[in-house]
Amino acid sequence: MISMRYHIVSLAAIFLALALGIVLGATKISSPILAGLQTDKTDLSSQNETLTSNNTSLGARVSSDDKFASSVGALAVRGTLPNATVVLITTADSDPGARDALLSLLARAGAKVTAQIQLTADFTDPSHADDLRTLSARMLPTGAKLPAVSQVGAVAGGLLASVLLTDKTGKTTTKADQATAALSAFASGGFLQASGTVVPGRLVVILTGGALTGGSEADRAAAIADLAAQLKQSAGGVIVAGSSGSDGTTGSVGVIRGNTASSAVVSTVDNVDTPSGQLATVLGLVEQNGGGVGRYGFAASAQAQIPTLGVG
């Protein structure tokens, strides 16, 4: 008779053999897998080193370009906008440092900033669009017309053009009291703030931030893009300068570049938060003043880093 002990020993032997077979089989199978993984790891490490090296090189190049732009910017723009009058419009998310740098370069170019207008977040907020349209129509100066469109940025741009811009001869087209009343109404409505005395100008710089966040991004970016395109109907030149990220679909620069009609008349800069972007903004305004248009900065949608201007 076979004892219970015999059964236990037999079962133990079977399980031991199975375990040994599994271990040996797994070892044999895992060897090529491990070798493949090791090769993949080596390849990925090599790619990472290459990308890191390229990134370091590009970063150094950008830093070098910015240092160069910072050192020669004042000299490069000197006298390029003699007696030009400029209206500077800034959005709620614009960079104050970029604004100050632009003001300095514009002064070196010989331009006079006649008005500084700070747009509030409500200006681009879709929930306030009807209020802004109504106010624009109500405060429209005598003889001025609003565009027959639904885009709130363009409607507000029609009103602002009538009170902030001069004609081709440099003359104002709206009586001073009506212009003051319109700007005061916009300020009381929470749509803008004016710094100091406002005098109409011929050229326009719109300084904005990067990619918008917080909801309704596309609508708010479009409002600034539409404003710029409408102002160009009356201005001698308009350039929209945004910070890094502004070239995307939720940035005003990106919206303008994505619209054939707008990009054909409004110049854009996508890196105004850098010295080279600030230089490109002023030189881009010079180009606009001469009838040209361009897209500048670091983004793939830019045609060059800065404009190439003829020296006469």
Digit-coded pLDDT (tens) for 215-267: 899 999 999 999 999 999 999 999 999 999 999 999 999 999 999 999 999 99
Beta strands 267-269 and 295-296 are: parallel
CB neighbour class for 199 (10 Å; exposed up to 12, middle 13-18, buried from 19): middle
Measure Cα distances from 115 to 196, 200, 201 in Å: 8, 7, 7
Q: φ, ψ for residue 89 (rounded to 5)?
A: -110, 125
Q: Which pair of tokens denotes residue 181?
A: 């009343």
Give the HSE-up count for residue 166: Cα atoms under 13 Å, Cβ half-sphere.
17
CA 148 – CA 133 distance, rounded (Å): 11
pLDDT score of 69: 57
Q: Which residues, at least 6 apart from 81, have a Cβ–Cβ distance to it below 8 Å?
A: 106, 109, 110, 111, 203, 282, 285, 286, 289
pLDDT score of 213: 83
Q: φ, ψ for residue 250 (rounded to 5)?
A: -110, 25
CB neighbour class for 309 (10 Å; exposed up to 12, middle 13-18, buried from 19): middle
Helix/strand/coil for 286: helix
What secondary structure letter does DSSP report for 244? T
Q: Do residues 206 and 91 touch, judged by C-beta distance below 8 A? A: yes
User: DSSP string covering 126-184, please?
Assistant: GGGHHHHHHHHHHTPPTT----S-S-HHHHHHHHHHHHHBB-TTS-BSS-HHHHHHHHH
Q: Do residues 159 and 178 touch, judged by C-beta distance below 8 A? A: no
Q: Do residues 307 and 295 touch, judged by C-beta distance below 8 A? A: no
Element spanning 299, H or E: none
Q: Do residues 142 and 114 touch, judged by C-beta distance below 8 A? A: no
pLDDT score of 88: 98
Of the candidates 298, 306, 292, which has an alpha carbon nearest to the alpha carbon of residue 248? 298
User: DSSP string covering 12-79, please?
Assistant: HHHHHHHHHHHHHHHHHHHHHHHHHHHHHHHHHHHHHHHHHHHHHHHHHHHHHHHHHHHHHHHHHHTT
Model confidence pTM above 0.85: no
pLDDT score of 72: 72
pLDDT score of 15: 63
CA 123 – CA 131 distance, rounded (Å): 10
**Which segments in the chain show pLDDT lower than 50?**
1, 54, 57-61, 311-312
Please name the residue that has the structure tokens 């700007």.
183
Q: Which pair of tokens denotes residue 38?
A: 């090791």
CA 122 – CA 130 distance, rounded (Å): 11
